[in-house]
Amino acid sequence: MAERVNNFPPLPKLLRLKPCFYHNIEEEIPAPHQQLVRKVYILWMMYSGTLCMNVISCIAWWAGGGSAINFGLSLLWLLLSSPCSYTCWFRPLYKAFRADSSFNFMAFFFVFFLQCVLALIQTIGIPGWGTCGWMATVVFFSYNVGSAIVMLITTLLLTLVTVLMALVLVRVHRLYRGGGGSLERAQEEWSTGVWKSAPLRDTGFNTVAQGPSLPQYPAAVPSYPDDSKW
């Protein structure tokens, strides 16, 4: 098989910057879990889109008499949270299912729990935090109804994303525990350095010479419960 070329994020060829990751759910993720990983990827896109909408809402907030600080912070949330969320919690989940890595599962649980807490704070909408959550939106209805309606759209999106994130966290944790995963396995991977050797575990990309195929997963991959009903 030809060498894999990084394809994410998709960038114009005119730029000198090159994609940082290889992203191919159909090729790298075992078939029973492709649907779940794809849904989490869609959730990441929803969160990024909500942050974009939050910038627009903060502009309306500013135009209606709000502080310009919220607009500046909304841009900061978008520029930092969108790429960091992909790198810090989606990629660990992607690698965890790709190579049955308990270490990456634990990294996902830790970071994604913090992401859920952050999303909840953004949904609450503390004034001066740069997000149009419930507190900021409800209060602003008494100042400018038009701006508050635009802010309400972002508030509802943040609420939806937060609920979905909580459901994903519970779902993945049940799936991992049901497959025999544990903290001890993650500690063992850390102590032996197995978590760093993903290319060695994905031997299908290096040894298969004829035609496309899925990567060869370790023989010890647990049989995770079927998630097709989720």
Q: Is 71 contained in some domain?
A: yes
Radius of gyration of the chain (CA): 21
In order along its 230 residues, the chain shows pLDDT tens digits of 456 788 888 888 787 888 888 999 999 999 989 999 999 999 999 999 999 999 999 999 999 988 899 999 999 999 999 999 999 999 999 999 998 888 889 999 999 999 999 999 999 999 889 999 999 999 999 999 999 999 999 999 999 999 999 999 999 999 888 766 555 666 566 555 555 555 434 433 333 323 333 333 443 444 555 554 54
2 Cβ contact list (under 8 Å, min separation 6): none
**Token representation of residue 87:** 């790198």
**Token representation of residue 9:** 């994020």
Q: How far is the C-alpha of 148 from the C-alpha of 190, rounded, in Å?
A: 49
Q: Is 200 contained in some domain?
A: no
Q: Is 41 contained in some domain?
A: yes
CB-CB contact of 123 with 135 (8 Å): no
Q: Is 42 contained in some domain?
A: yes
Q: How far is the C-alpha of 192 from the C-alpha of 173, rounded, in Å?
A: 24
Residue appearing with tokens 């889109």: 49
Q: Is 53 contained in some domain?
A: yes
Q: Is 207 contained in some domain?
A: no
Q: Is 21 contained in some domain?
A: no
**Nearest CA-CA partner of 159 in 193, 180, 135, 188:** 135
Domain tally, the chain: 1
3 state DSSP class of 145: helix
Owning domain of residue 135: 31-193
